[in-house]
């Protein structure tokens, strides 16, 4: 008797340079973006670009740090910064790559998972410079591990990146762009319904707006609690933090929701000034 186990294996494939160039051309020719000038903010202001990258890193980004030394093939292994997204966002990441001087490479895994990988020395140094002091979540600990690794490997003296603990209102430039992967805007429409034999009260027609952001309650790579960060953000947005257990990840998730019109207007104004570049 034979028992077979079947596994689904997603093989990562490099995305050809020509495909990346085409995605960038399509992105830049998008009339909606060009008319509003959304991408040009980050062309002119590298400080804002740094906040945008920090937000993406704190969302679905990761930092991989190998051991020191060389491999059996005498290759030096550098750390890697990896931004993960849906393949529909390749235009946005191609734009970011162009603004970063062409550093990094792209991979696709499965049919829809995009990875923008920065693993060369100069590329990582550019990222460290841009994002230094701009992270607010426990991922800043991993960012400092990256700095320590580079200081040791290349005899550098890069200062520690201090966690940004300023109030959101005092530092409005802080990017909420981890929203790109973990949050969403929603529109709820309720149709009017008259009173009936099965309905004791009539229902009025109404439309409501909602912004929701979910974050893991515990950051495993850094053994850190995410609650202080979420409470700070909730205080700024004038809402409360709730928690629930995720059936998908089997872990606790922290969630905040903004439903008041005034606060929704603030978010709309915020993202108009510091715009999203991706599909959302």
- Report pLDDT for 35: 47
- Report pLDDT for 40: 55
Cβ 181 vs Cβ 59: under 8 Å: yes
Residue 144 and residue 132: Cα distance in Å, rounded?
Answer: 9
Per-residue model confidence as pLDDT tens for the chain (280 residues): 455 455 555 678 999 999 999 999 998 887 455 544 455 556 667 888 888 899 889 888 999 998 755 555 566 678 999 999 999 999 989 999 999 999 999 999 988 999 999 999 999 999 999 999 999 889 999 999 999 999 999 999 999 999 988 777 666 555 565 555 567 778 877 888 888 878 788 878 887 888 888 888 988 888 889 999 889 888 888 889 999 998 887 889 999 998 888 888 888 887 777 667 777 6
- Report pLDDT for 75: 65
Assess whether the region 12-154 and the region 179-273 belong to the same CATH fold. yes
Give me the CATH code for the 179-273 domain, please: 3.10.28.10
- Report pLDDT for 131: 96
The structure's pTM equals 0.80
Domain ranges of the chain: 12-154, 179-273
- Sequential DSSP letters for 180-199: HHHEEEEEEEE--B---SS-
Residue 258 and residue 112: Cα distance in Å, rounded?
Answer: 30
CATH number of this structure's domain 12-154, picked from the four choices 3.30.450.80, 3.10.28.10, 3.40.50.300, 3.40.50.80: 3.10.28.10
Residue 23 and residue 94: Cα distance in Å, rounded?
Answer: 7
Q: Is 119 exposed, middle or buried (0-12, 13-18, 19+ CB in 10 A)?
A: middle
Q: Which residue(s) pair with 118 in the sheet? A: 81
φ and ψ of 77, to 5 deg: -95, 120
């Amino acid at each position: 008797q034979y028992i077979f186990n079947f596994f689904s294996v997603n093989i990562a494939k490099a995305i050809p340079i020509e495909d990346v160039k085409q995605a960038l051309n399509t992105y830049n020719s998008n009339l909606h973006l060009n008319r509003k000038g959304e991408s040009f903010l980050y062309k002119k202001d590298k400080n804002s670009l740094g906040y945008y990258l920090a937000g993406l890193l704190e969302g679905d980004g990761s930092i991989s740090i190998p051991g020191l030394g060389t491999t059996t093939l005498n290759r030096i292994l550098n750390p890697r910064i990896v931004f993960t997204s849906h393949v529909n966002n390749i235009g946005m990441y191609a734009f970011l790559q162009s603004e970063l001087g062409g550093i990094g490479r792209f991979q696709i895994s499965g049919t829809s998972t995009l990875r923008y990988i920065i693993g060369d020395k100069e590329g990582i140094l550019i990222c460290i410079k841009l994002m230094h002091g701009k992270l607010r979540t426990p991922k800043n600990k991993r960012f400092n591990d990256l700095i320590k690794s580079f200081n040791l490997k290349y005899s550098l003296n890069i200062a520690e990146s201090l966690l940004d603990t300023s109030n959101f209102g005092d530092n409005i430039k802080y990017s909420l762009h981890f929203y790109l992967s973990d949050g969403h805007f929603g529109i709820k429409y309720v149709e009017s319904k008259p009173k009936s034999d099965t309905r004791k009260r009539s229902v009025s027609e109404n439309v409501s707006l909602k912004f929701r952001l979910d974050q893991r309650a515990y950051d495993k790579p850094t053994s850190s609690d995410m609650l202080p960060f979420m409470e700070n953000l909730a205080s700024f947005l004038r809402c409360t933090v709730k928690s629930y257990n995720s059936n998908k990840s089997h872990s606790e998730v922290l969630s905040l929701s903004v439903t008041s019109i005034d606060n929704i207007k603030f978010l709309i104004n915020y993202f108009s000034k510091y715009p999203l570049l991706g599909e959302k």
